Amino acid sequence: MAIPVTILCGELGAGKTTLLSGLLESSDREIGLVVNDVGAVNVDADLVEARTDLSTGEEVLALENGCICCSLSGDLSRAVIRLQREREFDHLVVEASGVGEPEPIARQFVRGPAAGVYDLESVVTVVDARRFHDRFVAPETDEVPAIEGPDETGTRPLADLALEQVEFCDLLVVNKCDLVTETERERVVAVLETLQPNAAVVTTEYGRVDADDLLGIERFDLETAAESAGWKRVLEDETAAHDHDEHSADHDHDHDDHGEGHDHADHHNHGHTHDEPAGHDHDHQHDDHHHGSGEAHDHHDHAHPPEEYGIDVDGYRRRRPFHPERFAALLADLPDGLVRAKGLCWIAGRERQAITMSFAGSETSLEVTGRWIASLSEQRQERYRSGETDLEWDEQWGDRETRLALIGRDLEMDALIERLDDCLLTDDEMDDDWTAFENDAPTAMDETVTLPVD
């Protein structure tokens, strides 16, 4: 029988260790705890009884309640399979690194070698209510935690990683609610539910969560988790509205021409771990928000949050490239009310590169995540399009376009969309030499450029 697995994510300082300590003390299950990080095992010292070793050399701690904890520095799949062979336990909890993405870990338990031994039940993300509020909900607050900047590899903003942990989970534990007011807590929950509409929510203090809310509940579905992020839902809504408008126009005019816009179907196998909109080729192949401490909130699937919290979502879709200098200037001066912006960008001078733009907190990252199909050879284009009959295609520009999801609070959305439109090439600029524009956008696959917001 497969061993159930819970993956625990959250930024450093969010309260994962406190939550784990309480879980290990209160649960009657024998738990195998894997810390998927390099370095010392981060478990309270009074829970540790003795140190032992696996034959592989990974550090293993024997915990007072009979559970074990393994600190990994190598391949996760091989290690957890070996752990199951050499130790007995009822449930495996994997604590992800504070700067780690949950999706690659989840995929190892669903589609990797560990899938036959383990059954992934849930992906849990712990959120520091005070930090999240000051960082994403009301950034004008005087004391904003100074934890921005690239991750430990120097390539991606921590705020972007923090939102990806929120966007890929099925349970959100909003911790440290004693540090926020009731109104602030409600706003935090509303924004979180907008970012990840499918996740259940537990609000708590001091990491106190009932073990039954974390373990033994079959929540996780890989495809749902991968596609249910709020920004993806916005793009889906935008595409559905666009397709409906195109269909209506076609019917009214009695022809089959689908006009300027087109849809990128989600049909690519991503060769890397970051979420991004599909439609390009990869060369490397509810109304009640009042929660008490520890109270779970399973809400219905909804893409649009209550208006009472001032949250607005919208999509932006254009078939004209951004001027690189004007677009960079906009990204350096985004409005305070913007919480999340993510999607594909077509930037003049980068006709091969499909670039994912991701804004979170106070920084924006631009990353090359693939190539436009229209930049491939005619033979490859034909082969690709023959297998994707629903891919809309412009005779001149092919599949190139910009598709962004915009999520804000107390944001003048129309004004932001007008500013984005002002970044598009003018009719005269469409005839210019685009390579002459000053352009800091990335060019190489998986290359990332980070732009701070002034």
Q: Which tens digit of pLDDT belongs to each residue from 347-378?
A: 999 999 999 999 987 789 999 999 999 999 99
Does residue 62 have a pLDDT over 70? Answer: no
Mean pLDDT of 175-185: 96
Q: What is the mean pLDDT of residues 105-122?
A: 89
Residue 151: its pLDDT value, please?
43
Do the domain assignments include residue 398? yes
Contacts of 443 (CB under 8 A, 6+ apart): 350, 353, 368
Is the domain of 29 the same as that of 75?
A: yes
**How many Å apart are CA 231 and CA 316, to the nearest integer?**
11
CA 355, 356, 359, 364 torsion-angle sign: negative
Whether 144 shows a pLDDT value over 80: the answer reads no
In a domain, 386, yes or no: yes
Pairing of strands 91-96, 3-10: parallel
Confidence at residue 320, expressed as pLDDT on a 0 to 100 scale = 97
CA atoms within 13 A on the CB side of 272: 17
**CATH number of the structural domain spanning residue 234:** 3.30.1220.10
Coil/strand/helix, residue 423:
coil
Q: Are residues 236 and 223 in the same domain?
A: no
306 CB-near residues (< 8 Å, 6+ apart)? 190, 286, 287, 289
pLDDT tens for 298-338 read 443 434 444 567 788 899 999 999 999 999 999 999 998 89
Sign of the alpha-carbon torsion through 184, 187, 192, 198: positive
**326 phi and psi, to 5 degrees?**
-65, -35
Q: Is the pLDDT of residue 238 over 80?
A: no
Same-domain status, 213 and 72? yes
User: How confident is the model at residue 308, as a pLDDT?
Assistant: 60
Which residue, of 203, 227, 251, is where some domain finishes? 227
Give the containing element (helix H, strand E) for 105.
Answer: helix 102-110
State which of 53-67, 77-91, 182-196, 308-322 shows the largest mean pLDDT: 182-196
CATH number of the domain at 156, please. Answer: 3.40.50.300
Is 295 within a domain? no
Q: Which of 227, 248, 266 is the last residue of a domain?
A: 227
Q: Is residue 26 part of a domain?
A: yes
* Position 179 pLDDT exceeds 80: yes
- pLDDT above 90 (res 97): no
* Range(s) of the domain holding residue 410: 230-285+300-452
In a domain, 423, yes or no: yes
Q: Do residues 314 and 328 both lie within one domain?
A: yes
Asked if residue 51 has pLDDT above 50, the reply is: no
pLDDT at position 64, please? 44
Assigned token pair, 245: 């408008």
Lowest mean pLDDT among 110-114, 169-173, 209-213: 110-114
Number of structural domains in the chain: 2
User: CA-to-CA distance for 186 and 201, rounded, in angstroms?
Assistant: 11
- Look at residue 380 and give its three-state secondary structure: helix
234 and 219 together in one domain: no
Distance CA 80, CA 74 (A): 11
Contacts of residue 418, defined as CB under 8 A and 6 or more positions apart, other chains included, come to none
Domain shared by 281 and 319, yes or no:
yes
Q: Is residue 293 part of a domain?
A: no
Q: Are residues 309 and 220 in the same domain?
A: no
Tell me if residue 392 falls in helix, strand or coil: coil
Residue 246 and residue 175 share a domain? no
The pLDDT, as a whole number, for residue 36 is: 60
The reply to whether 291 falls in a domain is no
Give me the DSSP letters along 188-200: HHHHHHHH-TT-E
91 and 234 in a common domain: no
What is the 8-class DSSP label of residue 116?
G
The whole-angstrom separation of Cα 454 and Cα 331 is 9
329 and 202 inside one domain: no
Q: Which residues contact 20 (CB under 8 A, 6 or more apart)?
A: 8, 33, 43, 93, 95
Q: Give, for 84, the enclosing helix (H) or strand (E).
A: helix 76-86
**With b meaning 16 or more CB within 10 Å and e meaning fewer, what string describes 388-399?**
beebbebeebbb
DSSP 169: -
Residue 229: pLDDT over 90: no
What is residue 135's DSSP assignment?
A: I
292 is a domain residue? no
Contact status, residue 127 vs residue 291, Cβ threshold 8 Å = no
Residue 237's φ and ψ, nearest 5 degrees, are -60, -40
- Pair (190, 239) in one structural domain: no
Tell me, what's the pLDDT at 86? 81
Output the pLDDT for position 206.
93
Task: State which H helix or E strand residue 126 sits in.
Answer: strand 118-128
Q: Mean pLDDT across the chain, nearest whole number?
A: 77
Q: Where are the alpha helices (DSSP H) in 11-64?
A: 16-26
Residue at which a domain ends, from 227, 253, 268 = 227
What's the count of helices (H) and strands (E) in the chain, helices before strands? 13, 16
Top-confidence residue, 57 or 353: 353
Q: Where are the alpha helices (DSSP H) in 87-172?
A: 102-110, 129-132, 158-167
Same domain? 198 vs 332? no
For residues 404 and 454, the model is more confident at 404
- Which tens digit of pLDDT belongs to each residue from 242-299? 554 554 444 444 433 333 333 333 333 333 334 444 455 554 333 333 344 454 444 4
Q: Taking Cα atoms as reference points, which of 448, 433, 231 lies closest to residue 353?
A: 448
The DSSP line for 175-219 is E-GGGS-HHHHHHHHHHHHHH-TT-EEEE-STT---HHHHSS---
Specify the pLDDT at position 99. Answer: 65
Closest CA to 71 of 45, 99, 95, 101: 95
